[in-house]
Structure 1
Amino acid sequence: MIVRDFNEAKNTERRVDSDGWNSVRLLLAGDNMGFSFHITTIYADTELHFHYKNHLESVYCVAGEGSIEDVATGEVHEIRPGVMYALNKNDKHILRGKTEMTMACVFNPPVTGNEVHRADGSYASADEVAAASA
């Protein structure tokens, strides 16, 4: 059994800070669950361009308001508490925080811990992470 306290984890190396967001990674690849689980804060008045080419992601909004735009279609969906979205086709998207948003996120395959978005909006694949560590 794995038990972690968000309030403790947010003050450790499990917290990753980047431009426009921070993420507390409660489950990582090393936990051998087959997915990673994060509580991510998207800052107010932020526009983030992401494209998870190597990962699938599901996100549930716990607090705050914003929107997500599907870059391929131009369709925009409002985000508010209770709304979930899943990037089931490695969808290129733009996430906009109207207010600060708290999001519960699941990644498959799991991230290893310190990933930040590359210039193209993606995280490195597990193979790229392993090669860089070798």
Structure 2
Amino acid sequence: MTWVQAEADLYIQTMSDNLSKIEKQRVFLAEIDECVTGLCVAAIGRYAPDYVFIQRVAVVTPARKRGAGLALMRATAESEPAHNIAGATLPDDHAAHALNAKLARSLESKVKEVPRRRFTPTDLGVGRNERHRPWTIDRPST
């Protein structure tokens, strides 16, 4: 379990900070043999409530390329069927872009890049000066 702790060290905060965030977020976990191997953190938009924002997807290196990331993102989408999906990805994170495209295809949609000003950094789960580019996946009309 030490590798999970090492990966999490960057995100450790005080209990009160964590509780205030947990109340607003959904956290999905992936497990292999009862060991957590990945997570997806999502939240309904505070300023864009029509969207569920995928704010973080992480899968430990030994468990990658097995479908865990897509399963985590699909669990998020399935938990909020009335919401479109949004997120933000670094321009050079090709693996994340491919994963976003897989999610869109699984929902019979496409990833659409949107202007940075479309969503707040709070909803996207990024810092104000980070280089992440926002995107949306709009669900097909029924």
TM class by shorter-chain length? 0.3 to 0.5
- Higher relative contact order (CA closer than 8 Å, sequence separation 6+): 1
When the two structures are superposed, what TM-score results if normalisation uses the length of structure 2?
0.32
Structure ranking higher in strand proportion: 1
